[in-house]
Amino acid sequence: MTPASVSDYRELARRRLPPMFFEYIDGGSYAEVTLQRNVADMEAIALRQRVMRDMSQLDLSIETLGQKLSFPVGLSPVGMAGMYGRRGEVQAAKAAASLGVPFCLSTVGVCSVDEVAAGGTAPWFQLYMLKDRGYMGELLARAKAAGCPVLVFTVDLPLPGSRYRDVRSGFTGSSGISGALNTAWQGVTHPGWLWDVWLHGRPHTLGSVANAVPQAGGVTDFLAWIARNFDRSVTWADLDWVRKTWDGPIVIKGVLDPQDARDARSAGAQGLIVSNHGGRQLDGVRSSISALPAVADAMGGDLEVYLDGGVRSGLDVLKALSLGAKACFVGRAWAYALGAGGEKMVARMLGTLRSELATAMVLTGCRNARDADRTLLDLAT
């Protein structure tokens, strides 16, 4: 199948990846109500078609936090991408760079921040706050030394949400001989992945935290250590601690409530990402797109507001821009594409989003992505 949409990349990834890794990408927490809302609420928004408006000149570019993006999309941090494609974070970063958009590296990526930066373009770096502040300080220093331009501080994961699909697939809760046999069987029955990732994509560690867990034998050991070390005591005052090591822009990821957005602004953040962690944390909360307008209005342009969650097309990107987002970050979309075929597929998927965004702009009469506002929406529907 030649992929034409994000759903096509999803299907190709489902075929190629062992079930435990596909379900980890695809699933949400608990009954996955919020995961479904992210997509359904985005689909329910109607664009306002306009015609005969001379759309011969389009400008999709934006500037944000000192960077120029060729179009208003970035790659969200996705954990363990190196298990979906060989050295997956490096491949995704290269694809993003080729399209002129940012890639954000997860703290729990298989590839380290140094390895990704060595690939040619320093990523934005996503931080989970763990109990070991000494190691956190070292990690921030490494990201800074690697040239990372932006720190994305994820605040909606003081502990992991329960993800039932991961239990059913054997990704979590399966250990010892039974766990090893389950992993082996899933690998053998997916030979393309076995050759690309399992045999030639090593080491299978979480590169940015590998030094903190020298005894870990594999990715699941690292994840178990991470889960035990999330710090539930973190408050806005901890941004002062982060600032002792990090002097660049800080973006807060995981905000849904306008008051939390105000608190982020007061704490000195330069941006925030309206996000419910892709429906992977507190199930039953509202969708990211439904939370966006109130948060954007509360900020009033004082800091950069981005959206993460439910974006499956370039049309969705324009909807988010119209409701106050400066740009959209996509997670599952690029993880599916990586699982489907590596860097080439990630670049192809980004090209599709860009083309779809351009089409939506032409047919709504929006010549410049920076000018998108609520007049582009059919609010009567």
Q: What is the pLDDT of residues 280-325, one digit of tens each?
A: 999 999 999 999 999 999 999 999 999 999 999 999 999 999 999 9
Under DSSP, the state recorded for 59 is B
Tokens found for residue 233: 């005591």
Residue 215 has pLDDT above 80, yes or no: no
Tokens found for residue 143: 């990201």
pLDDT of residue 241: 94
Q: What percent of the chain is predicted at pLDDT more than 70?
A: 97
Q: How confident is the model at residue 217 (pLDDT cuts 50, 70, 90)?
A: low
Closest CA to 136 of 154, 118, 123: 154
**Which helix (DSSP H) or strand (DSSP E) does residue 105 occupy?**
strand 104-105
Longest dimension (CA), the chain: 66
Q: Is 277 a catalytic residue?
A: yes
Q: Could you please report the per-residue DSSP string of 308-361?
A: ESS--SHHHHHHHHHTT-SEEEESHHHHHHHHHHSHHHHHHHHHHHHHHHHHHH
**No. of helices (H) and no. of strands (E), the chain:** 16, 10
Tokens found for residue 218: 């594999």
Residue 199 to residue 180: CA distance in whole angstroms: 16
Please report the beta strands in 146-295, taking only residues with DSSP state E, as ranges in sequence order. Answer: 151-154, 250-255, 271-274
From the list 190, 200, 204, 277, the catalytic residue is 277
